[in-house]
Amino acid sequence: MAANSHPESHYGAEMWVFPVASQVTREVSERTSAMPMAFGIGLGVSGLLLGLGIIGFVIRAMSDGFGAHGPWGYYAAIFSFIFMVTGAAPLAASIFRVTKSHWRRPLTRVSELFSLIGIFNILLFIPLMFVLPAFRNPNLTPLAENELDLRRTIWFEVPIGATAPQWLDLLGIACLALCALVILWLSAVPDMAQARLQATGFRRSFYGVLAGHWHGTKSQWLNQKAGLALLGAFYFMLLVFMQFTISSDYAQSLIPGWKDSIFPVIYTLTGFQSSLGLMLVILFVLRRWGGYKNYIGISLFWSASKILLGLTLLWVYHMFAFGITYWYGRLEVEQNILKYLLFQSYGWLFLANLIFSFFLPFLTLLWNPVRRSDWGPALAGVFVLIGAFLFSWRIFVGAFNAGDVYNIGLEHVPAFVGPDLWDVLIVLGGLGGAVFIYLLGSRLIPMMCVWEIKEGAMYQHMGTFMRGRYLVLAKPE
């Protein structure tokens, strides 16, 4: 356990608790408006990468156009990675709030700030709308045995027009981003109301607008909490649905004969796993170098790492369920898909994916002392993030280069497709853009949810049990 070092502490040295309420507002406000050099460098580098990415995108569009989907595989992969990770991230705050996990309090705002990247997801998605092949086979040979007149999609044969799914996907991603932003705003209102009293200039008017008429009345608090719970539930359902549509429209339906009901679940799980991993990395950085050591205790890493371990095991279990069912069936089309995505063409990538998404985080998080540290869960977080990136690469680049989408099944095993320079720039640009937006957002909205930390400070106390001093946690609801 991290020592609680604030001067008014009457707690045991080994017991981590939040600082007293009077300190919180001042400290968090100071850190939000500060601009350390390391932060400036991070902002500059990510901005530069974003610029390079835009160059890569323009050159890709000029050289290949939007007529064929093959050249856009790496673009789809980086979109998938950013969407998967940042889309699932705001959910952590909602879920742990609903389950009333006390340790969540320093994590919630870190999680909700990912809502800002929702806008970036919309922008990234728009080009992908134009590369998806048409539903109806334009080159259908009459009486051909291995060709489909309509390619397989989750939209079946509903008469909604050839491009409707793309628009529905866009609408879903936009609704998701909007919902996440409303959750962020609703969660931040009490903090903004507090901050508007102390800030000056632009910040004062910005916080004033966001805070609206918040005065902290009982009905306002009740409405805010009910709103957060309801929106969180809606966001969860919409996110799972969008992960299903994106994973099906932009991956599964592009590989002929790939009929795999567990794939959307694996995609969703990879998203949950990697977003929790990313939050642990950010919390580690904030604790070590961001000046939030008193706020982010080891118990957060200890509790979150158990969930990360659970998600890691669930991920490998679902992968195994997929692999064994296909392997055991011995159907030619399924064997070819296994060879393509798991054993031959993308075999080395799958092996790396398995190592980073399962073996390394599992072997790291298996040990109690490692889970009780701040570095251990953060290290596992880095592993699962790399694993999620490799997963997107393997699946989406594979799907975009699997050949004739109107074929009834995968008749041969297509080759691996590596990135060219523009693909590399696009991937770096995507990552840079997401980091850039998050860093900018963290300067406007506090990284710690001040009202939740204060609430947590009120709910906890130290008490004597037998001969030891332990944390006493209120259960008011």
Partner 1 sequence: MQEGRVLPAKEINRDLLRSILTTPNWYWVTVAIMAIIVLGAMSAAGLMINKGMGLTGLNRPVMWGFFIVNFVFWIGISHAGVMLSAILRLSKAEWRRPATRAAEVLTVFSLMTAVMMPLIHTGRPWRLVYWVYTLPFVPYDFARGIWPNIRSPLVWDPSAIFTYLTSSILFVMVALIPDMAVLRDRTTGIRHQAYALMAMGWQGTPRQWKLQIISGILLSALILPVFVSVHSIVSWDFGMAVAVKSWHSTIFAPYFVVGAVHSGVSAVVFVMILLRWIYGWENYIRHEHIDALGRLLIVVATGWFYFFVMEVIFGFYGREADEIAVREFQFTQPPWNLWFIFFTGLTYFLPVSLWLFKWTRRNLWIMSIACISVNIGMWLERFLIIVPGLAQKQMFTFTWYTYAPSAVEITIIGGTFAMVTLLMLLFSKVLPLIPLYDIKEGDMLKTEIKIGRATVPAVFRED
Tell me: does residue 339 bind partner 1 (CB under 8 A).
no
Q: Among 29, 108, 111, 299, which residue sits at the site for partner 1 (rule: CB under 8 A)?
A: 299
Binding mask 202-241 for partner 1 (x = CB under 8 A): --------------------------------------x-
153-192 footprint of partner 1 as x/- string (CB under 8 A): xx-x------------------------------------
477 binds partner 1 (CB under 8 A): yes
Burial class (CB in 10 A: 0-12, 13-18, 19+), 464: exposed
Q: Is 325 in the site for partner 1 (CB under 8 A)?
A: yes
Closer by beta carbon to partner 1, 326 or else 356: 326
Part in contact with partner 1 (CB under 8 A); list of ranges 83-91, 137-145, 180-188, 316-324: 316-324
Least separation in angstroms between residue 389's CB and partner 1 is 24
What 8-state DSSP symbol labels residue 136? B
Pick 308 or 417: Cβ nearer partner 1? 308
When binding is defined by CB under 8 A, the residue of 330, 412, 418, 421 that contacts partner 1 is 330
Q: Which stretch binds partner 1 (CB under 8 A): 50-58, 132-140, 414-422, 467-475?
A: 467-475
Cα 26 to Cα 215: distance, rounded to the nearest angstrom = 19
The contact mask relative to partner 1 for 436-455 (x = CB under 8 A, - = no) is --------------------
Nearer of residues 153 and 273 to partner 1, judged by Cβ: 153
The Cα–Cα gap between 85 and 388 comes to 8
Least distance in angstroms from the C-beta of 408 to partner 1 = 10
Residue 400 near residue 70, CB atoms below 8 Å = yes
Least Cβ distance, residue 199 to partner 1 (angstroms): 28
Taking the complex as a whole, how short is the minimal distance between the CB of residue 477 and partner 1, in angstroms?
6
Taking Cα atoms as reference points, which of 92, 116, 86, 187 lies closest to residue 448? 187
H/E stretch holding 462? strand 460-465
Structure tokens at 15: 């017991």
Q: Is 122 in the site for partner 1 (CB under 8 A)?
A: no
Residues 284 and 452: their CA atoms lie apart, in Å, by: 20
Q: Which of 10, 197, 329, 363 binds partner 1 (CB under 8 A)?
A: 329
Per the document, the length of the chain is 477
Count of chain residues binding partner 1 (CB under 8 A): 45
Tell whether residue 29 is a contact of partner 1 (CB under 8 A): no
Residue 465 makes contact with partner 1 by CB under 8 A: yes
- Span 233-292, contacts to partner 1 by CB under 8 A: 240, 244, 259-265
Least Å distance between CB 474 and partner 1? Answer: 4
φ/ψ of residue 282, rounded to 5: -65, -45
Q: Is 316 in the site for partner 1 (CB under 8 A)?
A: no
Q: How far apart are CA 286 and CA 276, in angstroms?
A: 15
Closest to partner 1 by CB, 213 vs 475, is 475
Residue with tokens 């790939």: 258
Q: How far apart are CA 365 and CA 277, in angstroms?
A: 12
Is 126 a binding residue for partner 1 by CB under 8 A? The answer is no
Q: Which of 67, 132, 85 is nearest to 239 (CA)?
A: 85
Distance CA 204, CA 194 (A): 10
Q: How far is the CB of 16 from partner 1 (least distance, A)?
A: 8
- Residues forming beta bridges with residue 465, ordered by sequence position: 468
Binding segment (CB under 8 A) for partner 1, from list 184-192, 318-326, 374-382, 413-421 = 318-326
Q: Name the residue with tokens 């095991």.
A: 313
- Buried b / exposed e across 329-341, counting CB within 10 Å, b at 16+? eeeebbbbbbbbb
Compute the distance between CA of residue 455 and CA of residue 475 in angstroms, rounded to an integer: 12
Nearest to 394 by CA among 428, 436, 427, 348: 348
User: What's the CA gap between 181 and 385, in Å, rounded?
Assistant: 24
Would you say 251 or 265 has its CB closer to partner 1?
Answer: 265
Residues 6 or more apart in contact with residue 345 via CB below 8 angstroms: 339, 398, 413, 414, 415, 416
Q: Which of 169, 308, 319, 313 has the alpha carbon at shortest distance from 247?
A: 169
Q: Which is nearer to partner 1, 144 or 240 (CB)?
A: 240
Which segment (115-123, 190-198, 315-323, 428-436) binds partner 1 by CB under 8 A?
Answer: 315-323
- Closest residue by Cα to residue 131 from 55, 54, 79: 79
- Residue with smaller CB distance to partner 1, 421 or 477: 477
> Scanning the structure block, which residue is given the tokens 């092949």?
133
Question: Considering beta carbons, is residue 32 or 336 the nearer one to partner 1?
Answer: 336
Q: Give me the residues that bind partner 1 (CB under 8 A), please.
A: 1, 102-103, 148, 152-154, 156, 240, 244, 259-265, 299, 302-303, 306, 317-318, 321-322, 324-326, 328-331, 458-459, 461, 463, 465, 470-477
